[in-house]
């Protein structure tokens, strides 16, 4: 004990010989190291005690929140040691203000991490086995949009809190929290063009006129919704181009959504045929081709004559499949096979042009006289 006391006295004498700023730096550094060691000890105890009982959400938060909590503990212990270090009042106040700023940033960071982990855990639990993933796409769209909106709101609140710590900007930061509170904040920010898209994103997350992987037609282009951001939607076109559409476009203007209620879709095949075409045989062949295809979902199949023009009739066959992509492939396959069958077995059913030559004038009279003479000779004979 005497040796320890002697070492402590020697350390005190050494620190006393140092300038105040050096002594303060050493003390604060020791508190920071102690905070790191304490954080590691607490994390180890929590893992050993509750590791098996924590669910996916708890384990995810524990794994990804380590860095923000480590920094928060360092800030708290260093801030608690500030009154004990030999610094003048202005320097101590300046350091305390910096630590407060860092603590606010760490809190915002931790809140964003919690939101991300909760969203990821929820998305991993969604059922994805079935072919009709309407429920999964609906939930994924909602969670992704709400997560991005929550991150933006947390960022805005963090910046506002930082502004309240500065005497110069305090009046601006305080105004964000004043009067109508969060509602006033949202209404005020929505007046800005960029942030109005965030409100549109919130509307889209609630009403869901479009979801991820929906088959849509926008600006005359067919494609699938690949990504939904807080200000725009990315549509993957059939030829792998990407169409970037402002989010408000899906709220304010009409568009086609082929998979709004379900992915199943009815496709059609239209043929122009001759009036002599055997409709019953063509109908039987069409239904046989559709039912034999693995793309057919077993729901809708039929063929009808939908128009009769001057030179041809129009026949339309309907068939259904599970997804828009399968419907397209089924239409093309049936159309090719049906045309090949008509060419092989009923070529006369394909559109034809008929011409009839009628003689006129003297040629017609001579032809009629010749026919009469031939008739008289035959009678006399």
Do 209 and 235 fall into the same domain?
yes
Distance (Å, whole) CA 217 – CA 126: 27
Domain membership flag for residue 131: no
Do 17 and 69 fall into the same domain?
yes
Do 191 and 85 fall into the same domain?
no
Average pLDDT, the chain: 78
Question: What residues form DSSP beta bridges with 217?
Answer: 222, 256
Task: Using the predicted structure, report yes or no on whether residue 132 has a pLDDT greater than 50.
Answer: no
pLDDT bucket at 110, cuts 50 / 70 / 90: confident
Domain membership flag for residue 99: yes
pLDDT on residue 380: 46
**Phi and psi, residue 352, nearest 5°:** -130, 155
Do 210 and 277 fall into the same domain?
no
The CATH number of whichever domain residue 167 belongs to comes to 2.30.30.60
Q: DSSP states of 353-371 as a string?
A: --------THHHHHHHHHH
Domain membership flag for residue 48: yes
Distance (Å, whole) CA 98 – CA 92: 10
**The domain boundary residue, chosen from 125, 153, 187:** 125
Do 255 and 272 fall into the same domain?
no
- Dump pLDDT digits (tens) for 5-37: 555 555 555 555 556 666 667 777 777 888 788
**Number of domains the chain is built from:** 3
**Residue given tokens 């909106």 in the structure block:** 149
Give 166's DSSP letter: S
The CATH number of whichever domain residue 277 belongs to comes to 3.30.70.100
Give 227's DSSP letter: E
Rounded to two decimals, what is the model's pTM? 0.58
Q: What percent of the chain has pLDDT over 90?
A: 24
Distance (Å, whole) CA 233 – CA 249: 9
Domain membership flag for residue 300: yes
Distance (Å, whole) CA 266 – CA 32: 67
Task: Using the predicted structure, report yes or no on whether residue 74 has a pLDDT greater than 80.
Answer: yes
- Dump pLDDT digits (tens) for 180-211: 455 555 555 544 565 676 777 778 877 888 88
Task: Using the predicted structure, report yes or no on whether residue 365 has a pLDDT greater than 60.
Answer: no
Do 205 and 298 fall into the same domain?
no
Q: Is the dihedral angle over the CA atoms 204, 210, 213, 219 positive or is it negative?
A: negative
Which tops the pLDDT comparison, 126 or 348? 348
Do 254 and 315 fall into the same domain?
no
Select the highest-mean-pLDDT range: 110-124, 222-236, 346-360: 222-236
Do 253 and 180 fall into the same domain?
yes
* CB neighbours of residue 188 within 10 Å: 14
Domain membership flag for residue 175: yes
- Dump pLDDT digits (tens) for 29-62: 777 888 788 878 887 777 777 666 666 666 767 7
Do 109 and 71 fall into the same domain?
yes
Select the highest-mean-pLDDT range: 106-110, 138-142, 244-248, 318-322: 318-322
pLDDT on residue 370: 58
Task: Using the predicted structure, report yes or no on whether residue 330 has a pLDDT greater than 50.
Answer: yes
Select the highest-mean-pLDDT range: 115-124, 153-162, 184-193: 153-162
Domain membership flag for residue 133: no
Task: Using the predicted structure, report yes or no on whether residue 371 has a pLDDT greater than 90.
Answer: no
Do 269 and 246 fall into the same domain?
no
Cβ 127 vs Cβ 139: under 8 Å: no
Do 292 and 227 fall into the same domain?
no
**The domain boundary residue, chosen from 262, 287, 317:** 262
Domain membership flag for residue 206: yes
pLDDT on residue 303: 94
Structural domain that includes position 275: 265-349
Task: Using the predicted structure, report yes or no on whether residue 108 has a pLDDT greater than 80.
Answer: yes
Cβ 346 vs Cβ 281: under 8 Å: yes
**The domain boundary residue, chosen from 247, 262, 277:** 262
Domain membership flag for residue 154: no
334, burial (CB in 10 Å: exposed 0-12, middle 13-18, buried 19+)? buried
């Amino acid at each position: 004990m005497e040796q320890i006391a002697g070492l402590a006295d020697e350390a005190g004498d050494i620190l006393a010989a140092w300038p105040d700023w050096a002594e303060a730096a050493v003390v604060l550094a020791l508190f920071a190291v102690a905070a790191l060691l304490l954080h590691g000890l607490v994390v180890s105890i929590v893992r050993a005690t509750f590791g098996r009982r924590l669910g996916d959400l708890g384990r995810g938060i524990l794994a990804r929140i380590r860095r923000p909590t480590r920094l928060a503990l360092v800030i708290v212990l260093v801030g608690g040691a500030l009154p004990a270090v030999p610094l003048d009042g202005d320097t101590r106040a300046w350091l305390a203000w910096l630590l407060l700023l860092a603590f606010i940033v760490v809190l915002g960071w931790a809140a964003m991490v919690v939101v991300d982990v909760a969203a990821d855990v929820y998305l991993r639990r969604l059922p994805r086995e079935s072919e009709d993933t309407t429920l999964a796409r609906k939930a994924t769209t909602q969670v992704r949009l709400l997560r991005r909106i929550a991150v933006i709101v947390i960022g805005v609140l963090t910046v506002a809190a930082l502004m309240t710590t500065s005497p110069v900007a305090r009046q601006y930061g305080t105004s964000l929290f004043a009067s109508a509170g969060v509602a006033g904040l949202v209404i005020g920010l929505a007046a800005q063009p960029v942030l109005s898209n965030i409100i549109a994103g919130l509307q889209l997350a609630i009403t869901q006129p479009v979801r991820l992987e929906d088959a849509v037609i926008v600006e005359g282009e067919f494609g699938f919704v690949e990504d939904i951001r807080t200000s725009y939607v990315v549509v993957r076109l059939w030829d792998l181009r990407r169409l970037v559409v402002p989010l408000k476009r899906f709220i304010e203007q009409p568009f086609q959504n082929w998979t709004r209620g379900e992915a199943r879709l009815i496709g059609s095949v239209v043929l122009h045929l001759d009036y002599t075409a055997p409709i019953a045989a063509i109908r039987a062949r069409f239904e046989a081709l559709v039912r034999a295809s693995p793309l057919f979902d077993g729901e809708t199949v039929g063929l009808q004559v939908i128009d009769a023009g001057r030179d041809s009739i129009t026949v339309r066959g309907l068939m259904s499949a599970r997804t828009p992509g399968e419907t397209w492939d089924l239409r093309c396959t049936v159309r090719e096979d049906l045309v090949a069958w008509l060419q092989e077995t009923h070529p006369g059913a394909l559109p034809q042009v008929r011409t009839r030559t009628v003689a006129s004038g003297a040629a017609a009279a001579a032809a009629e006289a010749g026919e009469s003479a031939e008739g008289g000779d035959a009678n006399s004979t």
